[in-house]
Amino acid sequence: MIRVGVIGTGALGHAIASSLAAHSIPGVELTAIAGRPYSPRDIDALARSWDCQATTEPLTMPGSGANLVVEAAGADAAKQYAIPLLQAGCDVIIMSTGALADMEFVTELKRVAAAVSRRVYLPSGSIAGIDGILSAMESGPVAVRVTTRKRPEALAGAPHFTTSGIDVLAFERETTVFEGNAQEAVAGFPSNLNVALTLATAAGSFDRVRVRIIADPKAEFTTHQIEVVAKSGTMTVEMVNRPSASNPRSSWLAALSAIATIRRLASPLRIG
């Protein structure tokens, strides 16, 4: 039995936990949820409706029986809790892959996971084609380019605009607002570009992933176009994603990718 704890009760964590609470995956149960200390009543209400335990301290989840913990609360939470949870005997799913921009954290994460024989899983999030990139890497290094197109309001508030003085909400036509490598992209758009870090982790280097971000007032949905060049060939994948109903900055597919990852872990037959 896989007993899951979920850190975060925002749009992403809520979607993951509610699916698990509905017993949508055989052999998997929702054991606990963790939320912010200033909203314990809200967490308790969710826990009662989902028939699981509630906590404001994620590190108590192993004591509640969780053997797999899903981080869905942001990069800071991933860096704060992932390693101690591994040490406590849990496998960990990291949704906020922006945390992987911190190479010291990544090095220690790998070291600890290996030392305690636990696993860290990175769902594909709002993109497709990760399996193809990993396969292509067997032929040698790959070069990846991702072009993300979003409505200006989905990008507003990003640090990139604070430092550059650009008013993204003033755009009346599509405008390229950023070009650079994956690490630079996540620094400038930490709430929007988990995609870039997931691709960089798959490709094995920040410098192998170039990122272009387009603010488009006429965009109906968020799109990601991924182009890969490898010795084995080339590939192009385009995703047109519906946003989360409760958070337009997040893709609906991101939550679904976490659920699909848990389903694969519970299945005797794994594809890809």
3-state secondary structure the chain: CEEEEEECCCHHHHHHHHHHHCCCCCCEEEEEEECCCCCHHHHHHHHHHHCCEEECCHHHCHHHCCCEEEECCCHHHHHHHHHHHHHCCCEEEECCHHHHHCHHHHHHHHHHHHHHCCCEECCCCCCCCHHHHHHHHCCCCCEEEEEEEECHHHHCCCHHHHHHCCCHHHCCCCEEEEEEEHHHHHHHCCCCCHHHHHHHHHHCCHHHEEEEEEECCCCCCEEEEEEEEECCEEEEEEEEECECCCCCCCEHHHHHHHHHHHHHHHCCCCCC
Inform me whether the pLDDT recorded for 272 exceeds 80. no
Considering only residues 123 and 247, tell me which one the structure prediction assigns the higher pLDDT: 123
Show me where the domains of the chain are located.
Answer: 2-125+253-266, 130-249
Choosing from 14, 23, 160, 224, which is the catalytic residue? 224
Q: Tell me: the pLDDT tens digits for 182-236?
A: 888 988 998 777 888 889 888 888 889 999 999 999 998 889 999 999 999 999 9
Encode pLDDT of 3-25 as tens digits: 999 999 999 999 999 999 999 99
Classify 2-125+253-266 by CATH class. Answer: alpha beta
Specify the pTM: 0.91
Active site residue 224: yes
Q: Please report the pLDDT score of residue 68 as a whole number.
A: 98
Q: Per the CATH hierarchy, to which homologous superfamily does domain 130-249 belong?
A: Dihydrodipicolinate Reductase; domain 2 (3.30.360.10)
Per-residue pLDDT, 235: 95
